[in-house]
């Protein structure tokens, strides 16, 4: 069985530990949904989490078997599909308390909701690695890179932005980071940053000038920032206050698995604020241990990137791996009130299917890259349509 698992074994181990550990806090925190909200049973949520992770690891295993050089062509082919999915998601018009909540599309056949922005993030980071890996060969002008690279980036980010600021900001930041690492000209990069800031300011001004024209989340964002700054007792701070109480209650060794008290008062105890429940039940030791596990994940990502000999492999590993770790620390920072409430979950720990599946796909690509010492197109595979597509870019 272990022979079938190719690639970095430490990375396999880290992901396995995160998945196994996740069952305890998810099972414990789901009682909030059962006894407070009145939905389902704890065992039902546990089985659902097991099914989600099982599908995730099937995706992980399948993706890591694909030769890594295929992902360049796949990302180019998937990009227009992702844009269409984001447009479709944005046109759903889902509004909660007057705020834009169009983040998910429902799949009628299986009755599940799918968050398209997570798929967009994986595709866009792989596409970015594909384009940026050719910088030394093509020496692009600002105009050519604007059309082939930055235009798709801006389209994807701006489609996500109105309903999910934190994901859009994280995604755009990661693309900028990857561009800097790849050696994209700094003067061009500063122009792009300026254009991004201008676009955001223009969006804010249009919404303020024409309120009610289309749903947005500006008021929600402003309230969260203001709550974070002032510490006023509002809905956002209600969650943070309960999270901090849970963390303080855990002390050094915690109350024990399943013995959290605050899970019944914390609305997002199984998703956005699951870290607080983990610290309450497993104490400082459990909280620090989980942070160290994510730091080990970051270390292995850097090691794999360093060992990979192709530019595409190095960029893809960092572009897909580092956002996972960043997302984890954003979630932890929100629970500790170091950051404003963002809605980012804890990768491979929080309940929820789309995030876990996309994390598994991203790790699968990283493992596929780690399998091969040289991520190059074999001479007998030059005519493959996916490789022709990536060469055209």
**Of the candidates 8, 130, 105, 111, the residue with the CA atom closest to the CA atom of residue 60:** 8
State how beta strands 112-115 and 104-107 pair.
antiparallel
Q: What residues contact 57, with CB distance under 8 A and at least 6 apart?
A: 19, 360
How does pLDDT run across 268-307, given as a tens digit for each residue? 777 788 898 899 999 999 999 999 999 999 999 999 999 9
What is the predicted pLDDT for the residue at 385? Answer: 64
How does pLDDT run across 198-241, given as a tens digit for each residue? 988 888 787 777 666 555 566 666 666 666 666 654 555 677 78
Q: What residues contact 119, with CB distance under 8 A and at least 6 apart?
A: 82, 85, 354, 358
pTM equals 0.87
Lowest mean pLDDT among 11-15, 39-43, 261-265, 312-316: 39-43
- Residue 94 binned pLDDT confidence (cut-offs 50, 70, 90): low
Measured distance CA(320)–CA(351) in Å, rounded: 21
Domain ranges, ordered by start, for the chain = 2-392
Q: Where are the alpha helices (DSSP H) in 133-234?
A: 135-138, 142-145, 151-160, 165-182, 186-209, 218-230
CB of 240 closer than 8 Å to CB of 337:
yes
Comparison of pLDDT for 8 and 131, the residue scoring more: 131
């Amino acid at each position: 069985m272990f022979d079938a698992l190719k690639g970095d074994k430490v990375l396999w181990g880290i992901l396995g530990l995160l998945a196994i550990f996740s069952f305890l806090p998810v099972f414990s925190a789901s009682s909030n949904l059962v006894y407070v909200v009145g939905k389902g049973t704890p065992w039902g949520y546990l089985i659902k989490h097991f099914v989600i992770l099982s599908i995730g690891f099937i995706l992980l295993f399948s993706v890591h078997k694909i030769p890594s050089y295929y992902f360049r062509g796949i990302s180019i082919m998937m990009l227009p599909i992702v844009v269409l999915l984001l447009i479709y998601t944005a046109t759903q018009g889902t509004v909660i308390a007057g705020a834009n909540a169009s983040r998910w599309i429902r799949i009628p056949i299986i009755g599940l909701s799918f968050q398209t922005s997570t798929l967009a993030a994986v595709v866009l980071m792989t596409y970015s690695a594909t384009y940026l890996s050719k910088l030394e060969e093509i020496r692009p002008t600002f105009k050519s890179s604007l059309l082939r690279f930055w235009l798709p980036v801006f389209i994807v980010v701006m489609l996500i932005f109105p309903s999910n600021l934190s994901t859009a900001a994280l995604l755009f930041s990661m693309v900028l980071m990857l561009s800097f690492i790849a050696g994209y000209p700094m003067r061009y990069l500063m122009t792009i940053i300026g254009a991004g800031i201008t676009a955001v300011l223009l969006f804010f001004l249009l919404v303020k000038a024409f309120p009610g024209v289309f749903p947005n989340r500006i008021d929600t964002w402003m309230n969260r920032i203001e709550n974070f700054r002032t510490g006023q007792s509002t809905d956002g701070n209600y969650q943070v206050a309960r999270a901090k109480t849970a963390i303080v209650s855990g002390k050094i060794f915690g109350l024990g698995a399943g013995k959290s008290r605050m899970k019944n008062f914390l609305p997002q105890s199984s998703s956005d604020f699951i870290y607080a429940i983990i610290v309450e039940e497993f104490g400082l030791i459990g909280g620090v241990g989980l942070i160290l596990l994510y730091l080990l994940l970051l270390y292995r990502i850097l090691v794999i990137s360093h060992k990979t000999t192709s530019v595409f492999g190095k960029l893809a590993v960092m572009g897909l791996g580092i956002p996972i770790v960043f997302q984890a620390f954003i979630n932890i920072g929100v629970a500790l009130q170091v950051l404003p409430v963002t809605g980012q979950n804890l990768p491979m720990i929080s309940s929820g299917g789309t995030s876990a599946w996309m994390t598994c796909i991203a790790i699968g690509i990283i493992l596929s890259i780690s399998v091969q010492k040289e991520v190059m197109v074999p001479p007998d595979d030059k005519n493959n349509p996916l490789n022709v597509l990536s060469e055209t870019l």
